[in-house]
Structures are given as C-alpha cells and as structure tokens.
Amino acid sequence: MADVRLAGLTRRYEDGAALEDFTLDLDDGELVVVVGPSGCGKSTLLRLIAGLDEMSGGQIHIGGRRVDGLAPQDRDVAMVFQSYALYPHMTVRRNVEFPLRMRGVAKAARRGRVEEVATLLEIEALLERKPGALSGGQRQRVALARALVREPALFLLDEPLSNLDARLRTSVRRHIRDVQRRLGVTTLYVTHDQTEAMTLGHRIVVLDRGRTQMVAPPLEAYARPANTFVATFLGSPGMNLLPARRQGGAIAIGDQRIELGDHMPARCADGGALTVGVRPEAFVPSNDTVAVGLRVDADPASAEPLGAETMLTGNVGRETVVIRAAGTPAAETSFVAPREILHFFDAGGRRFSP
C-alpha cells in the first residue's frame, strides 16, 4: 500500500501516440477508475505502470520509490488481466500462492495467507480445483485473489468485469469495491463501462485518444463535465448537445430564444457560437410549472416505456434530443429543461465556467 505518482506518462508508436502526457497522483488506499472508449490508451496506461510496455517518456513513483526502469517483478505491482490469465495447469491454491512462492514466502505463512484471501473472496471450496473446472465468476475471483494475496503496493485491474454476464457484474462490482476498501490497497481500475466508473471510484479519469479529458470525483464529473466528450461519455444515454448562438442576454437554439439572465456564461461573446448540453433526465413536463428553458415536443411514436421511466425523442431545430421522463407520461407531452441546469460549452467543446 502506497501513494502513487504518475508524471507525464507517454507512449508513442510509429503510427502515433497511444498515451500522451498522463499525469495523476493517487493517495494511499485510493481507487481511481480510468474510463474511456476502446483505443483511448487505458490498457496502454496499465501496461506502462506494470512494466510490460516501454515508456516513451514520463516517471512512475510508487511509495516514494521511482520504479520506471525496474523489471515488472521488482515494481511491487499486481494486475488482474481482462482474460484473468490464470495458470491452467495449476490448481486454484497453486495459482493463488504462486506470487508468494516466487517471493520465497515460507510454506506455513503461504498457507495462512492463501486461506485468508480465499475466505475474503469466498473461494475456499474451490482451492483444489483447476481453473478449467470453474465458472467465469469464480475464475474472476481467483484472479483477484492471486493479485491481492501478496498485498501489492499498487493494484491494477484491466476491465475485470467485461467477460461476465450482466447479472454477475453487479455483484462482483460490489465485491471488488468492498474488498478494495477493506484492504485499503491503492488501485487503478480501467474500464470502458461508465456504470463501473460512476459506482466504483473515489475519482475517475476520463481518457480519449490518449489524452486526459477530466479528473474528478464521479458525481462531479457527471454534474460538471469539463468538455463535450465527458458530457456525452458519462451517462446512458449521454448528454444531448445542441449548437446555439448568443444574442444579447439570450441564446438561440433552432427556432427558440431562451432568456438566460444570470446564467449566461460570461466568457461567451455576444453573437458567438456555443454548444448547449442537456441531460436527458433534465426534462420535466412543461404543463405543470412555468419555467424558462429549452422546450421540446416529444414524438409519441418514439416512446420506449421502461417501467420506472420512459425514453422519448423530440426535435430542436434539426437536432434530435433524447428525453428521459419519470414514469409513463401521457402521449404528446411537451417537455422543458429549466435554464438553471443547462450546460454550456465553447466552440472548442470546453466547458464555460462555472
């Protein structure tokens, strides 16, 4: 267990950069989730930290010790691979105690540690089986046990849930979080699944095309996305983005003019273009309260009732907007998103503060 400093991590290939200037400090015991679409550089990041891939630049400090330049086995880093990478010719017990064996831990101590971590991950009954005889969820837990058994300074998880079916995913996710908090091991967790990002991490890092887009606690990233990429990536469905133009104290979107008053971003020049963001759940039926905001008439044919909520689409100008309405609203409802909860981004996609 240790704090971790990643400074300027860069990996370039002949055909471009997979990771560019990645900088992040992790506190002791913190769980940070790195999230992004496939090909964003998140797996490269883990491989650089683990020492499985060579860095083009940057420094890695774990517990105050500089480890880039050290071989993987000398970095005190454990990793759970997306494919689990269990040793198929060894029993579960052999798999879990392998890292202890390699570090010359005595037999009695090994036994104790294996039993301990097996209890924690509820695999005591599986210890004498081979990985081939286990289910996907069981293999996943064995992989976690093998990585945690020697109490690494840093724990890396590469999309550990992506091979599990949806139902199992929820329970294993909770399990990972509990175990991580209980052991207090500094953890970097990589995923493309934004649900995992939102629910697991103390902080999340949103990556796109090798570059860090935002680093923040999950709810803050959701509430105040730093740019349009983060806005659309977090949330399912993501934020609606609409092109707009400032006209004095109002903005024009499609054929609508919305008086913003105090909510007008100060940095936006009069007549300038901007992007307005609206979360699908920001819409409320417009007939009960009078609010100034973005009005949308939903297309009744688009309604997808999901029980607790209903997904609808409507048009603003030529843009399609997704609406997530509570319950099952009557057909042909018109909706409004109050101006207080609209998001504003500049022409480059960056958020206007605040």
Partner 1 sequence: MSRRILVALACAIAGVNAIPLWLVAKQAVTPERESFAWPPTWLPHEITLENFAAAADAVPLGQGLVLSIGVALATVGSTLLLALPAAWLAARRERVGVRLDGVMVVARLFPTIAIAVPLAVIFVRFGLYNDPGGVGLWLAHTLLGLPFAFLILRSAFRGVPTELEEAALLDGASPGTTFVRVSLPLVRPALGAAAMLVFLVSWDEFAYALLLQVTNRTLPPLLFYLSAFGHPGLSSAVAVLMLVPAIVILLVLEPALRSGVLAGSGR
Closest distance to partner 1 from the beta carbon of 150 (Å):
8
Do β-strands 343-345 and 273-278 pair in parallel, antiparallel, or remain unpaired?
antiparallel
Q: Indicate whether 84 belongs to the interface with partner 1 (CB under 8 A).
A: yes
DSSP string across 257-299? EEE-GGGS-TTSPTT-EEEEEE-GGG-EETTTS---EEEEEB-
- Considering the rule CB under 8 A, would residue 136 count as an interface residue with partner 1? yes
Residue 11 binds to partner 1 (criterion: CB under 8 A)? no
For position 85 contacting partner 1 by CB under 8 A, the verdict is yes
Q: Which stretch binds partner 1 (CB under 8 A): 107-115, 125-133, 210-218, 229-237?
A: 125-133
Give yes or no for residue 139 binding partner 1 (CB under 8 A).
Answer: yes
Amino acid letter for position 179: V
Q: Find the binder of partner 1 among 26, 60, 121, 134 (CB under 8 A).
A: 134
Single residue of 31, 45, 50, 268 touching partner 1 by CB under 8 A: 50
Which of 63/285 has CB closer to partner 1? 63
CA 46 to chain CA centroid, nearest Å: 14
Among the candidate windows 70-78, 232-240, 275-283, 291-299, which touches partner 1 by CB under 8 A?
Answer: 70-78
Are residues 344 and 274 in contact, defined by beta-carbon separation less than 8 angstroms? yes
Residue 99 beta carbon to partner 1: minimum distance, rounded to whole angstroms? 4
Contact between 103 and partner 1 (CB under 8 A)? yes
Exactly one of 72, 112, 184, 327 binds partner 1 (CB under 8 A); that residue is 72
- The yes or no reply on residue 83 touching partner 1 (CB under 8 A) is yes
Q: Is 336 helix (H, G, I), strand (E, B) or coil?
A: strand
Closest to partner 1 by CB, 126 or 323: 126
Among 187, 211, 212, 183, smallest CA distance to 201 is for 187
Helix (H) or strand (E) holding 111: helix 107-120
Asked if 102 touches partner 1 (CB under 8 A), the answer is: yes
Least distance in angstroms from the C-beta of 141 to partner 1: 13
119 touching partner 1, by CB under 8 A: no
**Residues 6+ away with beta carbon under 8 Å from 107:** none
79 counts as binding partner 1 under rule CB under 8 A = yes
> Contact 157/79 with Cβ under 8 angstroms?
yes
Q: Judged by CB under 8 A, does residue 171 bind partner 1?
A: no
Query: Closest by alpha carbon to 45, among 145, 183, 139, 154?
Result: 154
Nearby residues of 42 by Cβ (< 8 Å), 6 or more positions away: 34, 35, 36, 190, 191, 192, 207
Q: Which is nearer to partner 1, 50 or 121 (CB)?
A: 50
CA distance 216 to 222: 9
The single residue listed with the structure tokens 């976690």 is 144
> In 10 A of CB 237, how many CB atoms?
14
Q: Which of 86, 123, 179, 197 lies at the binding interface for partner 1 (CB under 8 A)?
A: 86
Task: Give the count of alpha carbons within 13 A of 131, CB side only.
Answer: 18
Question: Any contact of residue 133 with partner 1 (CB under 8 A)?
Answer: yes
Q: Among 45-53, 210-218, 249-257, 308-316, which window interacts with partner 1 (CB under 8 A)?
A: 45-53
91 binds partner 1 (CB under 8 A): no
Which residues on neighbouring strands pair with residue 191, listed in sequence order? 35
Q: Do residues 10 and 22 touch, judged by C-beta distance below 8 A?
A: yes
Question: What is the footprint of partner 1 within residues 174-203 (CB under 8 A)?
Answer: none
Amino acid at site 157: L
Among 8, 23, 37, 89, binds partner 1 (CB under 8 A): 89
Among 73, 119, 247, 287, binds partner 1 (CB under 8 A): 73
CA pair distance 261, 249, nearest whole angstrom: 6
* Residues contributing to the site for partner 1 (CB under 8 A): 50-52, 71-73, 77-79, 81, 83-89, 98-99, 102-103, 130-134, 136, 139, 146, 150, 163
